[in-house]
């Protein structure tokens, strides 16, 4: 396949300054609602980019689980590679690729751990099997075979058969507090519409249009 010849026009619609909300979080919520209503299969999926202690860059898909206290929230094992990278350098980037709508949102911000109370509240709302899976997986560590992971899952199901599944002390949330948020809307002939919000004070944002 000749990849250089694969292309399409972006015709889903334009983006103008007068249609933007003053807050990038409110603007994001509007776009996310439109992505959900459009029937996208994973509208809350986002690519999380980190840099570890050795300076290596890495990306992976995680799921947005809310917006609270001015930041984007996701949950993970605090012993995972992503959590270790955040501990080394809390500056991260998020990308929401809403390709079906010819849209993407790029976030640059700082990750902070959420409180135990916030994390526990979400953990207890998860399906029981997802709660047990959080205990079963030593996330990012090697495993000899899937059978070993399934055996650990079965063992923990028996262990937690009675009562609630306790919240692991190695599991919880991160909040990404944005410093810069870009909204990208594909345009015909590659004349895309790009607007970037940059934090200028604790509660204020400057907005600029960028060339495509």
Write out pLDDT tens, residues 170-200: 999 999 999 999 999 999 888 999 999 999 9
5 pLDDT band, cuts 50/70/90, is confident
Q: What's residue 19's pLDDT?
A: 94
Do 142 and 111 lie in one domain? The reply is: no
Cα separation of 105 and 90, whole Å?
A: 20
Catalytic residues: 190
Crossing angle between the packed helical segments 146-159 and 128-136, to the nearest 10 degrees: 120
Cα separation of 111 and 70, whole Å?
A: 12
Q: What's residue 7's pLDDT?
A: 80
User: What's the domain count of the chain?
Assistant: 2
Contacts of 74 (CB under 8 A, 6+ apart): 46, 48, 62, 63, 64, 65, 173, 174, 176
What's 185's domain CATH number?
Answer: 2.30.110.10
Question: Which pTM value belongs to this model?
Answer: 0.93
Write out pLDDT tens, residues 71-130: 999 999 999 999 999 999 999 999 999 999 999 999 999 999 999 999 999 999 999 999
Do 102 and 190 lie in one domain? The reply is: yes
Q: Tell me, yes or no, whether 40 lies in a domain.
A: yes
173-191 in b/e burial notation, b at 16+ Cβ within 10 A?
bbbbebeebbbbbbbeeee
Q: Which domain holds residue 178?
A: 10-124+169-210
User: What is the overall mean pLDDT for the chain?
Assistant: 95
Q: Tell me, yes or no, whether 159 lies in a domain.
A: yes
Do 89 and 179 lie in one domain? The reply is: yes
Closest CA relative to residue 108, chosen from 204, 30, 176, 185 = 176
Do 183 and 158 lie in one domain? The reply is: no
Task: Supply angle C-alpha 114, 163, 115, rounded to 5.
Answer: 10
Contact 183, 207 (CB under 8 A): no
Do 116 and 75 lie in one domain? The reply is: yes
Closest CA relative to residue 94, chosen from 107, 80, 85 = 107
Between strands 193-201 and 171-185, the pairing is: antiparallel
Do 131 and 119 lie in one domain? The reply is: no
Do 120 and 73 lie in one domain? The reply is: yes
Cα separation of 198 and 129, whole Å?
A: 41
Do 161 and 184 lie in one domain? The reply is: no
Do 135 and 151 lie in one domain? The reply is: yes
**What are the start-end ranges of the H helices in 160-212?**
none
């Amino acid at each position: 396949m000749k990849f250089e010849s694969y292309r399409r026009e972006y015709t889903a619609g334009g983006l103008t300054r007068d249609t933007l909300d003053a807050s990038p979080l409110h603007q994001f919520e509007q776009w996310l609602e439109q992505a959900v209503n459009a029937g996208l299969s994973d509208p809350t999926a986002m690519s999380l980019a980190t840099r570890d202690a050795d300076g290596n860059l890495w990306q992976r898909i995680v799921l947005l689980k809310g917006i609270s206290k001015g930041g984007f929230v996701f949950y993970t094992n605090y012993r995972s590679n992503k959590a270790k990278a955040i501990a080394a350098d809390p500056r991260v980037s998020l990308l929401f690729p809403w390709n079906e709508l010819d849209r993407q949102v790029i976030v640059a911000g700082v990750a902070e751990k959420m409180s135990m109370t916030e994390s526990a509240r979400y953990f207890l709302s998860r399906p029981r099997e997802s709660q047990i899976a959080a205990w079963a997986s030593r996330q990012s560590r090697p495993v000899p075979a899937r059978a070993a992971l399934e055996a650990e899952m079965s063992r923990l199901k028996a262990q937690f058969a009675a009562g609630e599944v306790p919240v692991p002390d190695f599991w919880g949330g991160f909040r990404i507090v944005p410093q810069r948020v870009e909204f990208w809307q594909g345009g015909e002939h590659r004349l895309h519409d790009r607007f970037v919000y940059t934090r200028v004070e604790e509660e204020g944002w400057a907005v600029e249009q960028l060339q495509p």
